[in-house]
Structure 1
Amino acid sequence: MPAGREGDAILELEWALEKVKVHGTDWRGVLLAETPLSKEEALRRLKDFETQAIQRVVPLEVLVRASFDEIADAVLNLAERIQGSFAVRAKVRGNKKLSQRSLR
């Protein structure tokens, strides 16, 4: 979402998902939304709902602290549920101790 439109995006999330808890983050234009709906149902509702402020939705499987060990543990736990190959992509923002290069 464009920075400064967080309030509009929160309203759109509440209208589309009904039961949602929205948290701000340290980054402008980035929100974290929690809902009791299944991932599939939440994505379907957002897709069917006409939004102006929400530009992109990224479903999360797990949320961990920005430390190499916690990320590695989460990846290994998720890998047990996945059959076949997978990729891990990390977007590092504002953490001086952790770089994308250290995740390779």
Structure 2
Amino acid sequence: MKHSNFPIMLAILFTLAILSIAPLSTPAWCADSPAIARVLAAPPAADLGMSTKCAYCGMKLYVKKDTPSAEYAGKRYYFCDNSERDSFVANPEKYLHQAAKK
């Protein structure tokens, strides 16, 4: 009786063991925690037309129905575009500290 499948079985068992030890984590932007920024579907009606600054670059903007936004630590932030919003969501403290220095 040959054991030609032994290396394959060993590799499968090793992979399963590693996966059971290191659980898959969700990205920070997917988590729903007050300490982590989350993307908002749309600005609330009360904010439409409001003048504010982009939380990423500091440029003045007016909130429209399609203005990218995120919430962090109970506060809403608005952005010039989706890429700036996504960068902020990935690391909000970085951009909040930069804005405080300006």
Do both proteins adopt the same fold according to a TM-score greater than 0.5, normalized to the shorter chain? Answer: no
* Shorter-chain TM-score range: under 0.3
Whichever structure has more helix as a proportion of its residues is 2
| TM-score normalized with structure 1 length | 0.22
Whichever structure has more strand as a proportion of its residues is 2
| TM-score normalized with structure 2 length | 0.22
